Chain A
Amino acid sequence: MTRISRQVCRLLITLALLLIGGCATVQPWDRDLLAQKQMSFNPSPMLQAIDAHIYFSKEASMGGIDAGGGGCGCN
């Protein structure tokens, strides 16, 4: 791993910790907007998969699958 990469990585991890540790809260009954299908990191998985396939074959990078989360928070 190059030095720059390590720095970028450290920066991103710090950002992640800030984001996780933040005290912002949303009540379960306030998730009306979050429950909408378009409020997703990947609302159209099939379109996204086709794009990923195109870019994977035309560029040297890969990765960036969204891990999920958000949503209705029901049950």
Chain B
Amino acid sequence: MTVKPRSLPFILAVLLLMLHAPAGFAASARNDHPLAPDFTLPTSSGPVSLHDFRGKVVYVDFWASWCGPCRQSFPWMSTMANKYAADGLVIISINLDKNREAAGEFLEQFHPPFIVSFDPAGKTAVAFGVDAMPSSFIVSRTGRIVFSHEGFELSRAAAIEDRIKEALASDQNQ
């Protein structure tokens, strides 16, 4: 505790000004394409497995009712599901709430047209290495994770949509 702060406010002021300059959020795109860990989870209408959708592009989304950005991602995912269903896109959202009731209240507000599965123990999240809420993964038609994204922001959604289109196109002939 011998810091003399005479110059500190000025250094801080400069730092803060620099930090307030525009800056974007970085997405973590992975270069290697590991196989997506398979899972079988319950939904309100029976179990769902990732391997059931081999040959389709699967958008896997991890969410919870208490997560603010997840609320922004749901309407967007609904749009994506409707827009690209014919091209072979399937969205599986995995709810990680401990309390199914909380998830139910959330779903009441959105009525998503895509698959909602439940994993209160978070085993799938561990397998996918989820590091933030929400987290999403694009699984190619061959079952590989070709893209992953942490968090959700409407301003960055167009970039994710591009990656979905890319995945839908690139695997078409495989």
Contact = CB atoms under 8 A, between A and B. Distances in A.
Please tell me whether chains A and B touch each other in their complex, using a CB distance cut-off of 8 A. Answer: yes
Interface of A: 1, 9, 27-32, 35-36, 72-75
Contacts of B67: 35, 72, 74
B67 to A, nearest CB: 5
A74 B72 CA distance: 12
A29 B69 contact: no
Contacts of B86: none
A27 to B, nearest CB: 6
Interface of B: 1, 25, 62, 64, 66-70, 96-99, 102, 122, 125-126, 130-135, 150-153
A26 to B, nearest CB: 11
Question: Interface of chain B, helix or strand or loop or mixed?
Answer: loop
Contact of B132 (A9, A28, A30): A28
16 contacts: A1-B1, A9-B1, A27-B126, A27-B130, A28-B131, A28-B132, A29-B125, A31-B66, A31-B133, A32-B66, A32-B99, A32-B102, A35-B66, A36-B66, A72-B133, A74-B134
Contacts of A1: 1
A29 B150 contact: no
